[in-house]
Structure 1
């Protein structure tokens, strides 16, 4: 059985690392890796391959920078010849980025089965590109690997056949468990001159938060109200940095007392910073999950989340807008010790990738023609 696994953005790399190891241990699987190049910045790509012990991709599509539509078109054009050359039994896509949807679509057009990791997640906000990618990819997928109960519920409500759905757990947590000791041995926190629980960690990158002057000003105000209470370490995503420069605000952010701007961190460095933070302020999807496992308070600037288990069972707090006063009150509660105590969700145990490999190994190498007709 030949599987092409697609990666394109930072969260994909973290999730594919344990899958790569699981596939290596399964003699029935021949696995090849395709990197679309959606995250073309070395700080968001190369360092993750090195730290996560991922091999060089078998194919690198080198897609162009541009809008979602432009990148989708570029991926479709460049992935089609790879599919024709390799003739895989499965294309495995991860998460909700442009690469996920575009490669799933290309595979289905070529009559190749699709497996989707992190299937069934829904935020309820169809204005988010990621939400559209999730829904469309799930509609095309022949196997849907689910991380939490809400994913199961959503897919059942959407009428997906139960035989396609597999509740396997969270493969991102597989990587966290595997590399946690190594990250602590790196001691990024100590090397920066900090002690555990000595800082608030912050990272923002979603276009709705960082692409406008109004959003950036609110982010600056948040840093300004938190810094007098606790040192703020702000890891600057390249998109955020470009926007700050464009609007002439980078110098103002740099000048805020008791705050420190960080270049994008490697996976191990950021994992160490997360584990020992007093709290984390973010708009990231994956960080909601990682902080839930680490039992670190997380303030997520979203009106909804596709990962509700991080709020229901975990340590995640949803804040609907970038309101400095709300952030200040929430951080004050955390500093006062009134911390939301979380628990680790079911099957977030480090074995998700192994379960996925077992499911794939159990599949026939020939497509189910009845499933193909239903999809058509």
Structure 2
């Protein structure tokens, strides 16, 4: 049977891969070999996603984490190359913008294996972000670039990456995940009851980006803003391990409600019942939109520009005053979330594009 290899390493990739993996299994036309690089290794950041979302357990786990960007990417490159030599797939699928994404794409391309990039064309235009470097490098060497938006397609054209068969506007596969798994989350998650959270009366926050965590003054300013919001409306934060470490090392105190990282069903439940979202996560910006919630983006820029352009989100960076202004603006704002910004049946479209590539 024909094989493709899927490279995963971080929470958002597990969510996206769940959609395509389910479609691959339903059609049964080729075998998917899943490789987990180990980039996210905490049980609540990794294992629980495979369990909840019924993703097949990875055939390989490289257990690579906690290293510098260069060391992590290099070790992943070596590990993935060995797997590709053994499995001999027709194509490798990578998602998003992590070190796992770049390592998987590089290993495949150097061996003459087709590279499929899901979520291609996104740009923050901030080269201080490791994710931006990973995106650009991966897009440059990919054989099939599946863009979630028109903006993604245009970014690639401006960079000289052309070809109707190579660059495809597929829509955002994360929308399929939210649509499909929200029903299961309603049945299986009780987190709001456990935390005694009132409907539409708490703010969901996540902070983990390198730019916010390595600059302690930025992180302190963000938490100061969250503390001020917390006076008006309870703020709940599933705490990323990286952020937790920085907070503890620098004795940053906060009045908000800190909880352990949560699984996908619990996160969907929190999204459904919250008032709004504060985050520096790209994925959560869209998940907020899919759940009809406004989003305050704790970054100076966003790859998902259509959210800001259509009034569903605001970028505030680490400026606590802008954060409070955005909260005050959104707390009474009514928006039309029925706009179709990210397509539908995206997973099936991506599957068909893959089939066209490897047939």
Deviation per residue, 1:295-328 (Å, 9 max, x gap): 2010001111111122223612111x21222211
Q: 1:261 aligns with which of 243, 254, 258?
A: 258
Aligned counterpart, 2:55 = 54
* Aligned-pair CA distance for 1:364: 4.1
Q: 2:157 and 2:223 mapped to 1: Cα distance?
A: 42
Counterpart CA distance in 1 for 2:82 and 2:202 is 49
Offset of 1:363 from its aligned partner? 2.6
1:293 to 290, 293, 298: 290
1:268-299 Cα shifts (integer Å, max 9, x gaps): 10111012111111100001111112120100
1:114-125 alignment to 2 at 5 Å? 114-125=115-126
Give the Cα separation in 2 of the matches to 1:223 and 1:139. Answer: 38
Q: Which residue of 1 aligns with 2:268?
A: 271
Distance 1:314 1:359 in 2: 32
Match of 1:313 among 310, 315, 335: 310
CA shift, 1:208, in A, is 1.3
Partner of 2:318: 322
Instruction: Give the whole-Å Cα distance in 1 for the aligned partners of 2:56 and 2:244.
Output: 30
SS in 2 for 1:332: helix
**Partners of 1:322 and 1:64 in 2: CA distance:** 27
Q: Distance in 1 between matches of 2:311 and 2:193?
A: 27
Superimposed CA distance per residue, residues 319-355 of structure 1 (whole angstroms, 9 cap, x where no aligned partner): 1x212222112212223x1344444434532x11111
Please, which runs of 5 or more residues in structure 2 have no aligned partner?
A: none
Give the Å deviation of 1:45: 0.4
Question: Is 1:332 aligned with 2:334?
Answer: no
Bigger Cα Rg: 1
Segment of structure 1 superposing worse, 24-33 or 118-127 = 24-33
Aligned position for 1:361: 355
Which consecutive unaligned segments of at least 5 residues does structure 1 have? 366-376
Residue 192 in 1 paired to residue 195 in 2? yes
RMSD (Å) for aligned C-alpha atoms: 1.5
Does the Cα contact within 8 Å between 2:90 and 2:358 map onto a contact in 1? no
- What is the rounded CA distance, in whole Å, between the counterparts of 1:247 and 1:8 in structure 2? 28
Give, in whole Å, the separation in 2 of the partners of 1:364 and 1:55: 22
Q: Which residue of 223, 230, 240 maps to 1:220?
A: 223
Per-residue CA deviation, residues 62-95 of structure 1 (Å, 9 max, x unaligned), is: 1142111000110111111101101100000000
Distance in 1 between residues matched to 2:312 and 2:338, nearest whole Å: 8
Kept in 1: contact 2:222–2:298 (CA 8 A): no
Alignment coverage as a number of residue pairs: 356
TM (normalized to structure 2)? 0.95
- Is 2:175–2:342's contact at 8 Å kept on the other side of the alignment? no
**Offset at 1:138?**
0.6
Q: Please, what TM-score do these two structures have when normalized by structure 1? A: 0.91
Q: Deviations over 1:21-80 (max 9, x none)?
A: 111122322211111111122221011111111111011111142111000110111111
Equivalent-residue separation in structure 1 for 2:29 and 2:330 (angstroms): 49
Distance 1:75 1:344 in 2: 39
Q: 1:23-102 to 2 correspondence within 5 Å?
A: 23-102=24-103
Contact 2:171 2:346 in 1 (8 A): yes
Q: Equivalent residue for 1:175?
A: 177
